[in-house]
Amino acid sequence: MLALKTQKKRCNAKTKMAEYQKRARAGLKGLTLTWSDSDPFKEDGDITNTNVSHKNPIQNIIVKDMWYRCSHWILNTEFTWLTTMQVIFETEKRGDRIDEYEFRFTCSLRGNKSQILNDAMEEALIESKTSNESYPTGHKNKGKYKICHFNSEIAGV
């Protein structure tokens, strides 16, 4: 008697890859990027103090590994980003003065789909510098622009 062989079920590569992407995106929720930039809207600005983290200690290990392996993909993929920008001015009499702005956009942080976030942040930076210049000379809150600190968290996938 001949034994009937059952054929191995093949999986659809596209479906499998889509499932991997869906799981990767869900695993990144809560990833937080922090960095400082001396001139955020010029290509040659000095970017310092970069850090990747997560509130959950286990997810923190996972997101750091994912950042190391695929940071380009993370920066160029659309997520709902909750971004805080701190514009810091150094004053003569009171130390540092901080203007803080918060943005929530569904976009990427880099690439073509990042334009709405970049435009909003650039407008806020111009507003902050203009308001600083409106103070009279010698005013306690008038300062010299120092740096911008950014904190971006993936709030939604």
Annotate 34-83 with DSSP letters as a single string.
Answer: EEEESSTTSTT--EEEEEEE-SSHHHHHHHHHHHHHHHHHHHHS-EEEEE
- Give the mean pLDDT of the chain: 85
Cβ–Cβ < 8 Å for 80, 106 = yes
Burial zone of 73 (CB within 10 Å; 0-12 exposed, 13-18 middle, 19+ buried) = middle
2: confidence class by pLDDT, cuts 50, 70, 90: low
Of 97, 50, 108, nearest in space to 74 by CA: 108
Take residue 27 and report the two structure tokens written for it. Answer: 């695993």
Is residue 152 predicted with pLDDT exceeding 90? yes
Q: Does 79 map to a domain?
A: yes
**pLDDT for residue 44 is more than 70:** no
Q: 104 is in which domain, residue-wise?
A: 22-156
To the nearest whole percent, how much of the chain has pLDDT over 90?
45
pLDDT for 22 equals: 77
67 falls within a domain: yes
Residue 16 in domain: no
Look at 2-16, 82-96, 134-148 and tell me which has the smallest mean pLDDT.
2-16
Return the minimum-mean-pLDDT range out of 39-53, 82-96, 127-141: 39-53
**Is 4 inside any structural domain?**
no
Per-residue confidence (pLDDT) for residue 47, from 0 to 100: 64
pLDDT level of residue 113 (50, 70, 90 thresholds) = confident
Quick check: is 9 in a domain?
Answer: no
CA distances from 64 to 28, 33, 51, 74 (A): 10, 10, 9, 12
13 within a domain of the structure (yes/no): no
The total number of structural domains that make up the chain: 1
In a domain, 17, yes or no: no
**Within-domain flag for 81:** yes
Grade residue 100 by pLDDT with cuts at 50, 70 and 90.
very high
SS3 154: strand
Of the candidates 138, 147, 38, 37, the one whose C-alpha atom is nearest the C-alpha of residue 96 is 147
Q: Residue 12: what pLDDT? A: 66
Which SS3 state, helix, strand or coil, does residue 86 take? strand
